[in-house]
Structure 1
Amino acid sequence: MTHAHLAPAADTLVHIVDDDEGVRQSLAALLLARGYTVHTFTGGATFLSQASLAQPGCVLLDLRMDGMSGLQVFEAMRQQGTVLKTVFLSAHGELASAVAAVKQGAVDWLEKPCDEQTLLAAVSKATHLSQEQAHQMQRRGLLLERWNALSPRQQEVAQLLATGISSKEVARALAQRDPERPIDPRTVDTHRSAIFLKLDIRSSHELGMLVEDLGLSGSPSHPL
């Protein structure tokens, strides 16, 4: 599936990081004409200090610049956990570095001078991937917030219910785990109702997917 012909939203960000003024201007003009919001930077240090790395978008990043190299900027972005996706711009003869960058997580690399359609397709792909990752992170943050609103006992019950077992089996498992705190199936049902309400879910299947998404399915005996 290609995103090359999808019109970007007006707030779709593209950062151009290149120490060549001519490259910055020509790329900015092309992308502005296609509806992107464009920010340009003369170097990596300026970009890292001024750009919002938490906002989704694409970075067109020159591999070789004065000061920080493109690879150094890319590594700094990775360490900060940015949702921005990178497309490297390389001069002739920098193939090995460009390929290595893609293996480290860059979306693509393009050799200068860039073909317009190839560039637009790469930018579209990068911005869509970035927006998808930002959405996933936002969703996971919301799920984690809801999970943390459960009491420790509710978390324990939820992790057991997520495996698909019945209230009776949950009660039995909890009694075996802590004989001094027995629990009956009706109390498990009460917990289940509270858990579904707090997590905004309607079934044990949804609960199972949520617990798996949060990476909690492997350790029901150690609730968060």
Structure 2
Amino acid sequence: MTRDAHNDMPLPQVCIVDDDDGVRHSLAALLLAGGHSAQLFASGAGFLHQADLQHPGCVLLDLRMDGMSGLQVFEEMRQRHSALKVVFLSAHGELSSAVAAVKQGAVDWLEKPCNEHTLLAAVARATELSLAEAARARQQQMLRERWSALSPRQQEVARLLATGQSSKEVARTLGLRDPGRPIDPRTVDTHRSAIFLKLDIRSSHELGMLVEDLGASAQITR
């Protein structure tokens, strides 16, 4: 995967999926003039088979094609949780289908032939959304890995600290849960320091947000 050397984020890809040779190459020329190189696909099936659907970016997808329609390709992308954002290309008279596609999650639709400014604006918007989602996914993965690095006991303490309990309250709660394993508040403090270090956080407020983001709070046993 190609990445930006400055921020380690993947460089967005741009794909054109249209069964009309002239349209594909015309769009590619417009994109090239705007600083984008595009991958061209003559069919929806070929695109689904050859493209990296998990690499963020934008796909310009024709609504009506021989074989798989644009809507069928879009639905398959959704089923595969593709990172690509879709901008539909529609011919005159396909307005209702294009609007319906946007309501289903496409970023935009463009009527052919495309205006250069409108095309580049749509591609920029779609790639920006795709990269933002990719960044959020990477952040979530990093947080999950940090959470997994905690011991089971540390995770248990972290969930309680995330609710705003003090070390004394956490020690009391854990003691009530398991009378055979009493815990001292000072031990909770030690766990707290280790938890904050492993999760790279500095406050119980940050811990609360992290636990909520990960859905780890749902695992708390009352």
TM-score (normalised: structure 2): 0.92
| 1:221 Cα deviation from its structure 2 partner | 2.1
In structure 1, how many angstroms separate the alpha carbons of the residues matched to 2:53 and 2:15? 10
In the alignment, structure 1 residue 127 sits paired with structure 2 residue 98:
no
1:149·1:198 contact (CA, 8 Å) conserved in 2? yes
| 1:10 Cα deviation from its structure 2 partner | 11
Point out where structure 2 has 5 or more consecutive residues left out of the alignment.
Answer: 1-8
- In structure 2, the partner of 1:180 is 180
| 1:163 Cα deviation from its structure 2 partner | 1.5
- In structure 2, the partner of 1:4 is none
Superposed CA RMSD in Å reads 1.7
1:201·1:207 contact (CA, 8 Å) conserved in 2? yes
2:28·2:37 contact (CA, 8 Å) conserved in 1? no
| 1:158 Cα deviation from its structure 2 partner | 0.6
C-alpha distance after superposition, 1:17-61 (max 9, x if no partner): 000111100110111121113101001111111111111100000
| 1:134 Cα deviation from its structure 2 partner | 0.3
When the two structures are aligned, how many residues end up with a matched partner? 214
Q: Match of 1:59, as an amino acid?
A: V
C-alpha distance after superposition, 1:170-191 (max 9, x if no partner): 1112122222222111111111
Q: Match of 2:112, as an amino acid?
A: K
In structure 1, how many angstroms separate the alpha carbons of the residues matched to 2:197 and 2:126? 37
Q: Map of 1:86-101 to 2, 5 A cutoff?
A: 86-101=86-101
C-alpha distance after superposition, 1:110-137 (max 9, x if no partner): 1111222111111110000000000000
2:12·2:131 contact (CA, 8 Å) conserved in 1? no
- In structure 1, the partner of 2:136 is 136
Identity %: 73
In structure 2, how many angstroms separate the alpha carbons of the residues matched to 1:59 and 1:25? 15
In structure 2, how many angstroms separate the alpha carbons of the residues matched to 1:181 and 1:46? 60
- In structure 1, the partner of 2:15 is 15
In structure 2, how many angstroms separate the alpha carbons of the residues matched to 1:156 and 1:183? 12
In structure 2, how many angstroms separate the alpha carbons of the residues matched to 1:141 and 1:89? 34
1:10·1:36 contact (CA, 8 Å) conserved in 2? no
Point out where structure 1 has 5 or more consecutive residues left out of the alignment.
Answer: 1-8
Q: 1:208 to 1:10 in 2, by over 3 A?
A: closer
Q: Which moved more, 1:198-207 or 1:57-66?
A: 198-207
TM-score (normalised: structure 1): 0.91
SS of the residue corresponding to residue 217 of structure 2 reads coil
In the alignment, structure 1 residue 112 sits paired with structure 2 residue 112:
yes
| Bigger RCO of structures 1 and 2 (CA < 8 A, at least 6 apart) | 1
In structure 2, how many angstroms separate the alpha carbons of the residues matched to 1:105 and 1:36? 23
SS of the residue corresponding to residue 38 of structure 2 reads strand
In structure 1, how many angstroms separate the alpha carbons of the residues matched to 2:194 and 2:12? 40
In structure 2, how many angstroms separate the alpha carbons of the residues matched to 1:10 and 1:178? 47
C-alpha distance after superposition, 1:126-160 (max 9, x if no partner): 00000000000011001001111111111111111
- In structure 1, the partner of 2:211 is 211
Q: Map of 1:1-224 to 2, 5 A cutoff?
A: 11-221=11-221
2:61·2:88 contact (CA, 8 Å) conserved in 1? yes
Q: Which moved more, 1:208-217 or 1:20-29?
A: 208-217
